[in-house]
């Protein structure tokens, strides 16, 4: 089953984020790029935070190609000073931030008994602490700028139904869900919402790498690992990155203003499969 081709058409007249400023972390490629482009289709100007500024420049070009403004800032989400500088630069460039998508993340497939302390710590530094640092800094900025904004955190179905090898990854993504609940509770008085998205299998460089690692561990081919994974998704196909972007736009828009503290599976039915 292939991805529907209606996405572009349905987004053509979308103005839900018109003239809003959205920051997308890890927006150089994969889901982050899909979210950045989808936000631009809805009218947003986008600042991309990433370690890889060269690839992130391609995302910025895609956003500009849709008639919106884009900027790239080199940010390591796991480093508070880097996050501080990134937010300052984003605000100096496009003004107050209306929404942030905490998408930057890493995943290595390693059985728990072989997981080193350094691997465990890096998953938590990027996936959990990185989400905390960016959410904290951006929320503080929203409050200072009197913006009733939205925070969208990209967790994973792996937080609830992990594969083998996803010990550190799944635990760090479960931390993102807990963080999202507390952000929602503590920021409500400022008019800020916080929600999480739990993607299933999405066609990105991260998944390509995951398939190769799982294949090496199991003796299967990457294609066999993929079809085994997809057989657990009711819709039996991977998502394209913009399909995660559709839901991010909803949560960032006025249509999502009554949704907070929620975690939404965008997973082709994986958690129910
Ligand atoms: P991806 O293809 O690996 O892209 C992730 C991006 O984040 C890369 O550009 C990466 O830059 C950047 N990044 C990594 N560490 C960073 C850091 N410390 N600071 C700033 N940027 C950093 O991954 P993806 O598949 O698009 O996944 C995006 C998010 O969705 C992740 O949080 C992932 O866990 C989650 N997710 C993905 C899937 C899926 O099926 N793809 C499913 C569930 C959840 P570098 O390349 O320079 O490291």
Give domain status of residue 216, yes or no: no
Pocket test for ligand 1, best of 26, 60, 125 (most atoms within 8 A of CB): 26
Give domain status of residue 129, yes or no: yes
Distance CA 7, CA 1 (A): 16
Neighbours of 209 (CB within 10 A): 15
Give domain status of residue 130, yes or no: yes
pLDDT at 13: 86
Q: What's the CATH number where 36 sits?
A: 3.40.50.720
Neighbours of 16 (CB within 10 A): 18
pLDDT at 250: 98
pLDDT at 195: 99
For the chain, the domain total comes to 1
pLDDT at 2: 53
First CA to last CA distance, the chain: 16
Share of the chain above pLDDT 90, in %: 95
Answer for the pair 177, 194: CB distance below 8 angstroms, yes or no: no
Please list the rounded mean pLDDT of every run of 10 residues in the chain (273 residues). 50 88 98 98 98 98 98 98 98 98 97 98 98 99 98 98 96 98 98 98 97 94 95 96 98 98 98 93
As for ligand 1, residues whose beta carbon falls within 6 Å of it are: 25-26, 28-32, 49-52, 75-78, 103-107, 126, 130, 154, 156, 199, 201-202, 204-207
Residues of the domain holding 69: 11-203+240-272
67: phi > 0 → left, psi -120 to 50 → alpha, else beta; which? Answer: left
pLDDT in tens, 160-209: 999 999 999 999 999 999 999 999 999 999 999 999 999 999 999 999 99
């Amino acid at each position: 089953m292939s991805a529907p081709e209606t996405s572009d058409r349905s987004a053509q007249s979308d103005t839900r984020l018109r003239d809003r400023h959205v920051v997308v972390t890890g927006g150089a490629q994969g889901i982050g790029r899909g979210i950045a482009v989808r936000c631009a289709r809805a009218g947003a100007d986008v600042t991309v935070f990433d370690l890889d500024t060269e690839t992130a420049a391609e995302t910025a070009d895609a956003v500009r190609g849709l008639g919106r403004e884009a900027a790239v800032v080199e940010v390591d989400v796991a480093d508070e000073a880097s996050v501080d500088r990134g937010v300052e630069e984003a605000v100096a460039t496009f003004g107050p931030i209306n929404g942030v998508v905490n998408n930057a993340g890493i995943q290595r497939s390693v059985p728990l008994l072989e997981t080193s302390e350094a691997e465990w710590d890096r998953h938590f530094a990027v996936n959990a602490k990185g989400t905390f640092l960016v959410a904290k800094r951006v929320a503080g900025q929203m409050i200072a700028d009197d913006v009733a904004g939205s925070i969208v955190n990209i967790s994973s179905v792996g937080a609830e139904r992990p594969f083998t090898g996803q010990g550190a990854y799944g635990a760090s993504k479960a931390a993102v869900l807990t963080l999202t609940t507390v952000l929602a509770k503590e920021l409500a008085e400022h008019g800020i919402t916080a929600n999480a998205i739990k993607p299933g299998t999405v066609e990105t460089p991260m998944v390509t790498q995951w398939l190769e690692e799982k294949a090496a561990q199991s003796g299967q081919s990457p294609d066999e690992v993929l079809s085994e994974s997809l057989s657990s998704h009711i819709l039996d196909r991977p998502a394209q990155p913009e399909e995660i972007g559709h839901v991010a736009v909803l949560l960032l828009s006025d249509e999502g203003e009554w949704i907070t503290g929620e975690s939404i599976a965008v997973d082709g039915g994986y958690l129910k499969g």
